[in-house]
């Protein structure tokens, strides 16, 4: 729902260019002078509503320029934003352009569309709105080379006023902080502006609630280059390619500013296509352009082509119009495009060139420039008033013509007096010129003499300088030769040192190689000696083992032989004893003596003992 409000009586002071009186009433007058003045535009709106109808707008496509356009000054703020349906992106290189309010003799809707850059790597620059000195400084969107910087309009630079089409109703002036801004969300009160960082797409506020007072803002940290970052609505120069990496911005509004009475804060994509595609709270849909043919962007100082008729905005209630806000034709002629600066406006006011347009003849034009039909019962009164007005206008024209004739006569008299004064001044000037010529001739002679002496002195100085330069050149050449010789000697010495170092390195490498070879030879010889010694030790050990084995075998053989000898000796002794016993027995038997059994036993015991002893 759109909330209505009341606007107190306003007086808009805007510097414009005034035409001559005859031209203002459609009469041709040669030599009509133009003067820059300040115009008071009286606007009175006592009923709730807006100063102009935002329910019907002109929608069209605009051909974006490929360089930064000239800025234009406009007396009233752009209307609230409208809503558009964003179709899918046709290709990865397409950029969403448009979808904002542009100037074509009035604020008209520049419909959004996908476009490919006109040249490779070109970037899209968002439209520029700046609140400055109770006016709007506007630059439409355009294509830019990535290495070109956007230059913010300087404060002290003259900026042309925008051309105003016939039948246009003046809107409210910008209401909000000074600096960069975007139009308010859909359904907001006209005239409000939303401060935003430079380069912010206007579509970021499409999803925000409508506002009825100042307070909403767009905040975000924008890195405009490697050394500068801004988070406010200052007007600065920047490279458009540097802010393409910004992801989101934040739309913030207090409860006192929104139409809903609730505070609002939301992050919105910085890309225009994504922001325009978000769900709006007020679906004020922009009408589609009646023609697909784009119109050229507005150029300050030129009139605009005929615009298509306005179309109804869907989603908004009807808005009442206000006849008091309609600009009369005479006043509209004075509001033509003209470069005016604040300094020039102050000078015009100081010279007394202010014009009060409230006392100009009234007009019957309605809010949209169409004649208002009078009631049936007041036709005679209207006719009488028209006759009276015509008579008044005729009297005014006669008075003006008489004033012009008197002014012409006075100007002729002044011209004659000025001609006489000029003639006298010319005579005086001629006399003074002759005297000056004589003085100039004398001065020229003196100058020639001085120049000759100066030339001689200069020639001498030049000769001396040339001699000095020649000596300096010789000295420099000698110094260069010496330096070259020294450099050659140094290079030779360095080469010799390098050669010596290389030789020493080669010798050291050879010595290291020889030492390594000797070490290897010594190691191999030591290995061979160790192997030989090991073989010798093994042979000696084997020989010792064999000798020991032989010795053992010999000892065993000797022991066996000794045992055999002992056994043989024992056997021989036993045999000898037996033989002796037998001999003794035989002898006894022969003697016939038989021993006692005990004696036989005693005799036999020694024999057994002798038989039981081991042999050695």
Query: What is the per-residue pLDDT across 523-582, written as a single tens digit (0 to 9) for each?
Result: 888 888 888 888 888 888 888 888 888 888 888 888 888 888 888 888 888 888 888 888
State phi, psi for 486 to the nearest 5 degrees: -60, -40
Q: Hunting for tokens 């290495």 — which residue is that? A: 147
**How far is residue 162's CA from residue 102's CA, in Å, rounded to a whole number?**
11
Inform me whether the pLDDT recorded for 348 exceeds 80: no
**How far is residue 238's CA from residue 509's CA, in Å, rounded to a whole number?**
65
C-alpha radius of gyration, the chain, whole number: 63
Task: List the single range of 174-183, 496-505, 582-591 with lowest mean pLDDT.
Answer: 582-591
**Per-residue pLDDT, 385:** 65
State phi, psi for 36 to the nearest 5 degrees: -85, 125
**How far is residue 228's CA from residue 238's CA, in Å, rounded to a whole number?**
9
Q: What is the pLDDT of residues 573-607, one digit of tens each?
A: 888 888 888 888 888 887 775 555 555 555 555 55
- The helix/strand/coil state of 476 is helix
Q: What is the pLDDT of residues 289-310, one digit of tens each?
A: 999 999 999 988 777 878 899 9
The average confidence (pLDDT) of the chain is 77
Contact 5, 189 (CB under 8 A): yes
**How far is residue 400's CA from residue 474's CA, in Å, rounded to a whole number?**
88
At a CB cut-off of 8 Å and minimum separation 6, what does 149 contact? Answer: 237, 238, 239
C-alpha angle with apex 298: 216 to 304, nearest 5 degrees?
120
At a CB cut-off of 8 Å and minimum separation 6, what does 497 contact? Answer: none
Greatest alpha-carbon span in the chain: 226
Quick one: which of 110, 59, 86, 78 has its CA closest to 275? 86
User: Which whole-number Å values give the CA distances from 420 to 402, 415, 436, in the listed order?
Assistant: 27, 9, 24
**Per-residue pLDDT, 440:** 78
Q: What is the pLDDT of residues 224-278, one digit of tens each?
A: 777 788 888 888 888 888 887 788 999 999 999 999 899 999 999 999 999 999 9
At a CB cut-off of 8 Å and minimum separation 6, what does 467 contact? Answer: none
**How far is residue 543's CA from residue 541's CA, in Å, rounded to a whole number?**
5
Q: Cβ–Cβ contacts within 10 Å for residue 548, how many?
A: 10
**How far is residue 168's CA from residue 75's CA, in Å, rounded to a whole number?**
12
**Per-residue pLDDT, 379:** 57
Helix H or strand E encompassing 323: none
**How far is residue 198's CA from residue 218's CA, in Å, rounded to a whole number?**
10
Strand partners, 238: 150
Q: What is the pLDDT of residues 457-495, one digit of tens each?
A: 888 888 888 888 888 888 888 888 888 888 888 888 888
Q: 173 is written with which tokens?
A: 């002036």
Quick one: which of 106, 113, 108 has its CA closest to 59? 108
Inform me whether the pLDDT recorded for 201 exceeds 90: yes
Q: 157 is written with which tokens?
A: 């630079």
């Amino acid at each position: 729902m759109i909330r209505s409000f009341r606007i107190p009586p306003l007086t808009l002071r805007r510097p414009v260019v005034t035409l001559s009186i005859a031209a203002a009433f459609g009469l041709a007058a040669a030599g009509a002078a133009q003067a820059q003045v300040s115009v008071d535009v009286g606007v009175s709106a006592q009923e709730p509503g807006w100063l102009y109808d935002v329910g019907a707008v002109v929608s069209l496509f605009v051909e974006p320029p490929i360089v930064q356009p000239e800025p234009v000054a406009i007396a009233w703020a752009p209307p609230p934003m409208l809503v558009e349906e964003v179709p899918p992106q046709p290709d990865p290189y397409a950029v969403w352009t448009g979808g904002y309010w542009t100037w074509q003799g009035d604020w008209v809707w520049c419909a959004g569309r996908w476009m490919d850059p006109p040249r490779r790597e070109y970037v899209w620059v968002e439209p520029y709105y700046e609140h400055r000195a109770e006016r709007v400084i506007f630059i439409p969107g355009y294509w830019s080379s990535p290495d070109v910087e956007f230059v913010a309009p300087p404060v002290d630079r003259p900026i042309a006023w925008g051309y105003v089409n016939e039948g246009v109703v003046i809107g409210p002036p910008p209401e909000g902080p000074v600096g960069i801004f975007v139009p308010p969300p859909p359904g907001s009160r006209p005239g409000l502006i939303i401060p935003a960082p430079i380069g912010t797409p206007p579509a970021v506020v499409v999803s925000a609630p409508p506002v009825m007072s100042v307070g909403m803002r767009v905040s975000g940290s924008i890195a405009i280059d490697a050394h500068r970052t801004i988070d406010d609505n200052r007007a600065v120069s920047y490279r458009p390619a540097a802010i393409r990496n910004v992801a989101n911005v934040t739309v913030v509004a207090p409860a006192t500013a929104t139409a809903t009475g609730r505070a609002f804060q939301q992050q919105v994509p910085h890309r225009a296509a994504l922001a325009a595609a978000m769900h709006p709270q007020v679906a004020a849909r922009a009408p589609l352009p009646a023609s697909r043919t784009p119109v050229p962007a507005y150029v300050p100082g030129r009139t605009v082509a005929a615009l298509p008729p306005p179309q109804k905005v869907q989603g908004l209630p009807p808005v009442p119009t206000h006849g008091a806000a309609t600009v009369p034709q005479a006043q509209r002629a004075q509001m033509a495009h003209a470069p005016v600066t604040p300094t020039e406006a102050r000078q015009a006011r100081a010279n007394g060139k202010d014009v009060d347009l409230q006392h100009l003849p009234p007009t019957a034009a309605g809010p949209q420039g169409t004649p208002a039909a009078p009631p049936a019962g007041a036709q005679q009164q209207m006719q009488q008033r028209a006759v009276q007005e015509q008579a008044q206008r005729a009297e005014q024209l006669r008075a003006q013509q008489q004033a012009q004739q008197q002014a012409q006569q006075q100007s002729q008299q002044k011209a004659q007096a000025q001609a006489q004064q000029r003639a006298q001044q010319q005579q005086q000037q001629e006399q003074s010129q002759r005297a000056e010529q004589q003085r100039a001739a004398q001065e020229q002679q003196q100058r020639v003499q001085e120049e000759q002496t100066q030339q001689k002195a200069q020639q001498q100085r030049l000769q001396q300088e040339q001699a000095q330069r020649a000596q300096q050149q010789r000295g420099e050449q000698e110094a260069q030769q010496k330096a070259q010789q020294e450099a050659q000697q140094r290079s030779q010495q360095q080469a010799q040192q390098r050669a010596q170092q290389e030789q020493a390195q080669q010798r050291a490498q050879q010595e290291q190689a020889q030492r390594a070879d000797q070490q290897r030879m010594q190691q191999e010889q030591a290995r061979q000696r160790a192997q030989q010694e090991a073989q010798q030790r093994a042979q000696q050990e084997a020989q010792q083992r064999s000798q020991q084995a032989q010795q053992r075998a010999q000892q065993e053989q000797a022991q066996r032989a000794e045992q055999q000898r002992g056994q043989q000796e024992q056997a021989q002794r036993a045999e000898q004893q037996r033989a002796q016993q037998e001999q003794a027995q035989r002898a006894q038997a022969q003697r016939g003596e038989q021993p006692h059994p005990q004696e036989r036993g005693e005799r036999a015991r020694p024999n057994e003992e002798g038989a039981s002893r081991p042999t050695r």
